[in-house]
Amino acid sequence: MRPAVWETYGPADLSSVPVFAGGFINFGYWKSVDLGQPLSQDDRIRSERDLYRSVLDAAAPRGGRAVEIGCGLGLGCALALEEYGPTRITGVDIHPQQLQRAREANAGLLAAQPDRLRFALGAAESLPLGDVEYDCLYSVEAAQHFPDLSAFAREAARVLRPGGRVAVASFFTVDDAPAHADRLAELLDSFASGLDIARPVSRLVDALAEAGLVDVRATSIGPQVWPGWDRWLARLWEPGTWPRNFLTAWEQQILDYYLVTAIRP
């Protein structure tokens, strides 16, 4: 595991940082939150849950087997079980401490529905799963950390059944202009430290297509992510400080937030 990932999701426990809330670790999808009003903790958690819903709506796990890659504390797995009705869901994460937190956060559900939820330690590039086992593979705000998107795409194609769907939400550069990586490292500590990796969204689209998936699409959901995330950050951080530079990077058309979908033929 890369050192920045180990530290951030291990000892530093990003889920405990106040800008994240409710056990989720994502920037949120703010479409149904009124950004003209003061934001509450409930609004923040709703945005994080709504980011999951935007992904799960695209991945359509109803009635089948689902797997989440980079599941963090596993609360998105619980949401999927509750609202989307998969027969079974597996949450995969590379970090053993995250999986420990996931097992604690979902102890009641694991005890009540042991056949429907499980967590597994593993990397996106080398999934601890059998071939053609899943109807749906999804991932929320984790792919910016995956060092090898081609290996991830091959693994997605391997574990999905024919007709199975992929839905990945994460941030990528808008194109492959060489200056983007340096500019992001200047603006954002998480890129400078190597936690987040600067790559064009076309890298994931191409990787999924090369792995044999079809109907591969990347849709910008940045307008529903960045303004709300920045409005929430404004409670704690001044403009120009590092996390608020995500909005700057979007406004400067360097970085965007995408939902990438594909189907296993």
Give me the residues that bind ligand SAM (CB under 6 A), please: 5, 9, 24-26, 69-72, 76, 93-95, 98, 123-124, 140-142, 145-146
Q: How far is the CB of 261 from ligand SAM (least distance, A)?
A: 17
Q: How far is the CB of 219 from ligand SAM (least distance, A)?
A: 18
Could you tell me the sign of the dihedral formed by the alpha carbons of 4, 244, 54, 44, in that order? positive
Put residue 85 in one of left, alpha, beta given phi > 0 → left and psi -120 to 50 → alpha: left
Query: Which residues have C-beta within 8 Å of that of residue 122, sequence separation ≥ 6?
Result: 92, 93, 94, 128, 129
Q: Which residue is nearest to ligand SAM (CB)?
A: 72
Give dist(CA 44, CA 24) in Å, integer. Answer: 10
Q: How far is the CB of 3 from ligand SAM (least distance, A)?
A: 12
Q: Judged by CB, which is closer to ligand SAM: 97, or 241?
A: 97
Q: How far is the CB of 123 from ligand SAM (least distance, A)?
A: 4
Q: Judged by CB, which is closer to ligand SAM: 98, or 173?
A: 98
Q: Judged by CB, which is closer to ligand SAM: 121, or 177?
A: 121
Q: Judged by CB, which is closer to ligand SAM: 15, or 245?
A: 15
Closest CA to 207 of 146, 251, 248, 257: 146
Q: Judged by CB, which is closer to ligand SAM: 95, or 199?
A: 95
Q: Residue 69: what are its φ and ψ, rounded to 5°?
A: -105, 125
Q: How far is the CB of 54 from ligand SAM (least distance, A)?
A: 12
